[in-house]
Structure formats: structure tokens, C-alpha cells
Amino acid sequence: MERVRITVFDTTLRDGEQSPGCSMNVHEKLRMAHQLDRLGVDVIEAGFPIASDGDFEAVQAIAAAVRRPIICGLARACPADIERAWQALKAAARPRIHVFLATSDIHLKYKLRISREQCLEQARSSVRLAKSFCHDVEFSPEDATRTDREFLCQVVQAVVDEGATTVNIPDTVGYTMPAEYAEIIQMLRERVRGIENVTISVHCHNDLAVANTLAALGVGARQVECTINGIGERAGNASLEEIVMATRVRPDRYAFDIAVASEHLYPASQLLSEITGVPVQPNKAIIGRNAFAHEAGIHQDGVLKNPLTYEIMTPQSVGVPDSRLVLGKHSGRHALGLRCEQLGYQFDRRELDEIYRRFVVLADQIKHVEDHHLLQLIREARPVSKRMPPAHVEAIPPVVIAAVAGQAFHLPAPLERHPLEMSLHSLHDHHAEQEDYLWGV
């Protein structure tokens, strides 16, 4: 199957920055822009130049310093905005002006207070002016998914006729559903003359943002607008890392080429959190703290035997150092036995059973079962423990880490799992694997 190239338009520095508490100064935006460049995004929307002097300076600095990707600046559909955007962008190696104008009836009536005819003329004239400065012009009909479809076609036709190179269809308020969004994209492809020469872009918000984006790709959209960590207005934008990894994990469904270097996803996420002071929620897909962490005994048992049982991608593929097994009340004997070995203790099956029973009682009472707790359990269960000789201890990968959510330890990378599996087989009488599996529930 022929693979189609998808343009990744990152708007972390513009729409993402509009997320409450996520504003950035010039230096911080420049740092993030360099990380986005390393990540390999195709377009960086660096800001909204007319919004403030600081935003103008940030767009100007990024345009001058970051030369590989397209650098984009946002502008309302009015001369002052467009001219200001061009002043900020003109030093860029590959500049783009992104013009937007609301098109839904509710926006036209209550926000802009203009008619549909006035909207059409404003869209035409703004794209015409932007083209006089810059060849690469993107147009967005704001609130497109709540816009009358016939009128949406008229607006898109008007800006295509004026020379827009990209037409973005934003689900501004997170209103649409995947099948409906796909229908809108299909309709535009069928009814707008010349749209085959224009890149159709999608920009989605809120809880269905990624699903809507993928649905649109399936029917011909070729640019995705997204942010690191999914930050953005209200409940956020489509998450860049989720879109990228969906296409990497399921090439059978999404036969697309995306130039993003996925091993830089986690570093980009961490840098953004450092800059904004807004942490990533632990259960965030791909880059959250728990994305590659396992506490349930069944999961731990499976991952120790073969990580593919519960991980559809390797942590290294997104830049996460390693998987983690977290010891808690849901853990099973397999993980507990491994942790004891890493602490230097060997037990036969009966001894491990006793320690496990004590462990479950303790884990039910406290959230964090740490090493000193385990050592106390071992002393109580077996006053004279058989400790492994130093050579045996050193043979086990040094993968101990401290985790905020509890005592956790890394799994080695996939290519290094054999030594770990060998250390597991050294557990005495480790023969009733099915029983251990069931006990982990």
C-alpha cells in the first residue's frame, strides 16, 4: 500500500499556550521551538503576533533562529493582524501566515455582527492581502463544524480561489463526532473546485480530538494540527504524541508517513511541563507516568514473561527510559519475587508464599510499599534469610528507581530482557506459573 505523507502542524506555542496557566515568555518559547525542531514537526505555529509585544518578539525570534520547519503566525482576517504577522515572520526561511475568520451563524450574529455576505468578502480580501506578503497562506473558518454546510463550502471555495495553500477545518468547540467530521471533509473534497491542489488540515479540541483527527485522515485530510501533551483551550487540542503513535502502532489502518522522531516525544513532553509548570496527568496516553507502569499482578506476570503481552509499543520508542513495575496491593508474587532477588534474597516457594501473604496485608494498609517495608517483612518472615552472594546480585540488572506513585523498579530494555528472565528462573520451585498468574488477580 502506498504511504501518504502527513504534515504535522504543531500549535503548542500558540493554541497550547492559550491553555490557562501555560503562557510562555520569549526565551521559553524559543527553547520549546528548538525541541519541536528536534522532534521533526513540519510546521511550528509560533504565536499570535498582534496579541502582545512579547508574542511578536517570540515569533520573530523563532523565525530567525529555527530554519528547517515552516514557521507560522496567526492573524485575524483584518489588515492590521496580517501586516503584523508578516513583520514577525519575514525573516523566516519558510514563513506561513495563518488567517482565521468565524463562519458559524452564532459567531457571525453575536461575536462579529456581520452577515454571511460580509464574511465571504472578508475571507477573500484577507487571503488576498496575506498572499501579497507570503506565498504560503492557511485559512481557517473558525467554528467550522457548527457552520451551515452550504455556506462552509462557499467560504472554502472563496479562499481556494484567492490562492490559499492550506484550508484548515477546525472543530473549535469540540462539537463534532468522528463519522460526522469525516463527512464534512468528504463533502469539501467533492464540492470545492480546485481543492485537490490544496492541503486540507484538521484542528480538533476536547475529548474526541484524536479520534476526530484520525477519522479525517482516513478520508483525505493531509495536515494535523496538534500540541505536545494535548494542551490547549478548554479541554485541550489533539495530542501530537497520540496521533503519531497511533499511526506507528497501526500502519495497517493508517498507512501514513509522519516525519516525527518519536523517541523525542517524552523529552518534549518533559520540557513543556518544566517550562509551564503544568505536570502531565499520570494516566496520559504515551507519555504519562503510568503509561508504561504496571501494578496489577496479572499484568506484571505477563510483562515479565513478554512485554508485548501488555505493551503495544516499547517505552524506548517514545523516549521513555524503561517500563516500571510498581509494588502495591494489586501486585503478584512474580514481581515481588523479582524485587526480593534485586534486594539480594533467595526464597523457596513456601517462604515466598509467606512473605507474599504478609505483603498483601501490608499493601492493603499503605499506598507505598517501599524497600524498607519489604526488608522488614523479610526479617519477620524469615529471621535467617539466605542472601545471594555478591556475584549473583551483580548479575541482576541495576534497574532500581524511586517512583512518586510508590516503590517501582525498571524493566530492562527489550533487547536486555534475557538476563532478567534468567534471574526469575532462579526462584526455587517456580513451576506453578498458572497458579501464580491467577493469584495476581
Tens digit of each residue's pLDDT (9 = 90 or more) over 317-340: 999 877 666 778 888 888 888 878
Which residue is associated with the grid cell 514577525?
88
Residue 69 belongs to a domain with what CATH number? 3.20.20.70
pLDDT for res 393? 39
Same domain, 187 and 269: yes
Band of pLDDT at residue 141, cut at 50, 70 and 90: very high
pLDDT for res 1? 57
Same domain, 269 and 339: no
Question: Does residue 93 fall inside a structural domain?
Answer: yes
pLDDT for res 426? 33
Question: Does residue 282 fall inside a structural domain?
Answer: no
Nearest to 107 by CA among 152, 75, 137, 139: 152
Same domain, 171 and 246: yes
Same domain, 240 and 308: no
Band of pLDDT at residue 294, cut at 50, 70 and 90: confident
Q: What is the pLDDT of residues 409-432, one digit of tens each?
A: 444 443 333 322 323 333 333 333
Average pLDDT of every residue of the chain: 86
Same domain, 264 and 316: no
pLDDT for res 420? 28
H helix or E strand, kind and range, residue 82: helix 79-89
Q: Which residue has the higher pLDDT, 414 or 69?
A: 69
Q: What distance in Å separates the CA atoms of residue 224 and residue 40, rounded to the nearest whole number?
A: 14
From its phi and psi, is residue 47 left (phi > 0), alpha (psi between -120 and 50) or beta? left
Same domain, 325 and 261: no
Question: Does residue 148 fall inside a structural domain?
Answer: yes
The answer to whether 329 touches 358, Cβ cutoff 8 Å, is no
H helix or E strand, kind and range, residue 418: helix 417-425
Tell me the mean pLDDT in the region 25-37. Answer: 97
* Domain end (from 249, 276, 303): 276
* Domain end (from 244, 276, 308): 276
Q: Is the pLDDT at 167 greater than 50, yes or no?
A: yes
Same domain, 391 and 260: no
Same domain, 195 and 330: no
Same domain, 303 and 237: no
Which three cell numbers mark 323? 517500563
pLDDT for res 254? 95
pLDDT for res 303? 82
Same domain, 246 and 385: no
Q: Rounded to the nearest 10 degrees, how much is the dihedral formed by the CA atoms of 148, 150, 154, 157?
A: 110
Band of pLDDT at residue 403, cut at 50, 70 and 90: very low
Question: Does residue 196 fall inside a structural domain?
Answer: yes
Question: Does residue 199 fall inside a structural domain?
Answer: yes
Q: Is the pLDDT at 80 greater than 60, yes or no?
A: yes
Question: Does residue 287 fall inside a structural domain?
Answer: no
Question: What is the share, in percent, of the chain residues with pLDDT greater than 70?
Answer: 85
Band of pLDDT at residue 308, cut at 50, 70 and 90: confident
In 211-250, the DSSP E strands lie at: 223-226
Question: Does residue 318 fall inside a structural domain?
Answer: yes
pLDDT for res 397? 37
Same domain, 359 and 252: no
pLDDT for res 346? 79
Domain holding 29, by residue range, is 4-276
Q: Is the pLDDT at 434 greater than 80, yes or no?
A: no
* Domain end (from 276, 308, 341): 276
Listed ranges 119-123, 337-341, 377-381; the one with the highest mean pLDDT: 119-123
Same domain, 115 and 47: yes
Which three cell numbers mark 268? 518534549
In 92-178, the DSSP E strands lie at: 95-102, 137-142, 166-171
pLDDT for res 433? 40
Q: Is the pLDDT at 391 greater than 50, yes or no?
A: no
Q: Is the pLDDT at 392 greater than 50, yes or no?
A: no
pLDDT for res 106? 98
Q: Who's near 172: CB < 8 A, 6+ residues apart?
A: 142, 143, 144, 145, 146, 203, 205
| Cα separation of the two ends of the chain | 42
Band of pLDDT at residue 374, cut at 50, 70 and 90: confident
Nearest to 230 by CA among 216, 244, 217: 244
Q: How many domains does the chain have?
A: 2
Q: What is the pLDDT of residues 176-196, one digit of tens each?
A: 999 999 999 999 999 999 999
Question: Does residue 61 fall inside a structural domain?
Answer: yes
